[in-house]
Amino acid sequence: MLRYFSEKKYNHLVKDYVTAKTIYNFIEEIGVGAYGVAYLLEDMNTHKKYVLKRLKTKHRHKKKIRQKFDQEISILNEIELPNVPKLVSKGEISGIPFYIMDYIEGKTFEQSIFQDGQIFSLKQSMQITKELLQILIEFHKKGIVHRDLRIPNILLKDNTLHIIDFGLAAYMKPELQLDKINNPKRAENHISDLYYIGHFLLFLLYSTYTPTKKKERSWQEELLLPQEVIEYIERLLIIRPAFSSAADALQSLPLREHIENTNIY
């Protein structure tokens, strides 16, 4: 009978399951992705919030997608870092796998930039990049690459960076060679995460940018950045020779003294 359930109808099954068989109150649906649906829950005793993420019903018979969903659960369970939601439990509802994890109550950088209009100075942007690379190094030490470090998946809570959504995460393949990578976003090694960080950093830097000319120019021309910073971002984006690791990228960050002395804010 499950094959006749639409996503909307299955939402009711999830709500009924949470209400009848868990310690949580069902609050609302909070997100829909290509492969999954997420709901906000609240512990009836502690009032702490959690997220239940389940596979979309249309993917229930797709072996590779189910395996990827199981891998997402395994990766979350293995990371065990304070900057990542903690896995609480897992199970199935009418044949559809799900898991429950901590809810991180913070603002994504997408919300901060495009909803709140927050701007980030060059100095702030480089500091955030430094903190992000430090987290990334811990991921890579565990053999895990996130592969989706975009502004909706990085957030601030109590001035601390948190990373969410491990739906595209993978186990690293250290033997993967740069010249064999066709799409850096999907590379199963450090190249993917550093490539995304390059774009993430550009979003931060563009938060201070006001167009002065109608004709669109390259970011190197539009953003008045020190040459060292331009070259650094070009290495993240593989325009110049790529960094050998996240640790290499962290060590190569433009010197703080140079950033502090620049008048670009």
pTM check: above 0.85: yes
- Amino acid occupying residue 252: S
Give, as one character, the DSSP assignment of residue 179. G
Q: Which residues are annotated as a binding site for ATP?
A: 53
Q: Go through the domains of the chain in sequence order and give each one's CATH number.
A: 7-102 (3.30.200.20), 107-261 (1.10.510.10)
Q: What is the pLDDT of residues 190-239, one digit of tens each?
A: 999 999 999 999 999 999 998 877 788 999 999 999 999 999 999 999 99
3-state percent breakdown (helix, strand, coil) of the chain, nearest 5: 45, 20, 35
Q: Which residues are annotated as a binding site?
A: 53
Read off the pLDDT of residues 17-63 as tens digits, 9 standing for 90 and up: 999 999 999 999 999 988 999 999 999 999 999 999 999 999 999 99
Q: Which residues pair with 37 in a beta bridge?
A: 32, 54
Q: Which helix (H) or strand (E) holds 229?
A: helix 227-236
Q: Cα–Cα distance between 71 and 150 in angstroms, integer?
A: 20
Q: Could you give the CA distance from residue 85 to residue 100 in angstroms, rounded to a whole number?
A: 10
